[in-house]
Amino acid sequence: MEKTDSGKIISNFTSLDYVVLSCMHYTDLKVMIKINPLDLVVSCEKLFDCEFMKKMNGEPSSELKLKIQNWLNSIEYKQYTQNTAQSLGASDKQRIRNIYAKLGLKPHDLSELTDAGIKFLESKEFEIKQKWDEMVQMNISQDAINLKKSIDKYADLIPLMFTTGIANGQLFSAMFKTVNFGMYDYLSKNPLIHPIFLDYLK
């Protein structure tokens, strides 16, 4: 794939694509099961296409093997597979199979981030940490105008702020009081923000 195509894919990353990138790097299985299986595979396809992800070379570490095995034996995984079987239609399952075939993957193959993918993720982690800290300071100083602008501008990164543990649900709620906006109303009407992080606000 040409670099221009990769650049176009990256520029159109959704909030969920950033979350999937992080989950794949840290093998965050508990976040992964919150994602619709088809959406997860579609995001992975983008990450492969822009060369941020690849099929794992060699054997996984003993630590990763144990983590995955414990996960496969867990109640959460059994519930996840049962829910997936019930929620996915025939066309969705076929699309997943087609994407796996395109990427040269089998159902239980492991993937990992490339050096370029890790570098990109690290830059995003630095960016969201910086932006979150700025938003916290704006909230402290009651700078409602610039705080609202920041929330609007970085909406697609908000889910990643929560799934990586950078953001705080209580502080985030307080920010909406500062800008005098209904938080859930705002979040539900903003198509850039994937609802995966709503659990972190409870």
User: With 70 as the cut, is the pLDDT of residue 56 above it?
Assistant: yes
- pLDDT tens-place string over residues 77-115: 888 888 888 888 999 999 999 999 999 998 788 999 999
Q: What does pLDDT average to over the chain?
A: 90
Any bridge partners for residue 111, and if so which? 55
Q: Confidence class of residue 4 from pLDDT cuts 50, 70 and 90?
A: very low
User: With 90 as the cut, is the pLDDT of residue 72 above it?
Assistant: no
Question: Both ends of the chain: CA-CA distance in Å?
Answer: 42
Four-CA torsion 38, 41, 45, 46, nearest 10 degrees: 70
53: three-class secondary structure by DSSP = strand
Residue 54 tokens read as 């690849």
Distance CA 97, CA 89 (A): 13
Distance CA 87, CA 89 (A): 7
Residue appearing with tokens 């800008």: 179
Mean pLDDT throughout 181-198?
84
Task: Give residue 138's identity as a one-letter amino acid code.
Answer: M
User: With 60 as the cut, is the pLDDT of residue 2 above it?
Assistant: no
Distance CA 178, CA 125 (A): 25
Distance CA 196, CA 198 (A): 6
User: With 90 as the cut, is the pLDDT of residue 16 above it?
Assistant: yes
Residue 7 tokens read as 């650049």
106: three-class secondary structure by DSSP = coil
Q: Confidence class of residue 201 from pLDDT cuts 50, 70 and 90?
A: low
pLDDT attached to residue 191? 85
Q: What angle do CA 98, 19, 44 make, to 5 degrees?
A: 15
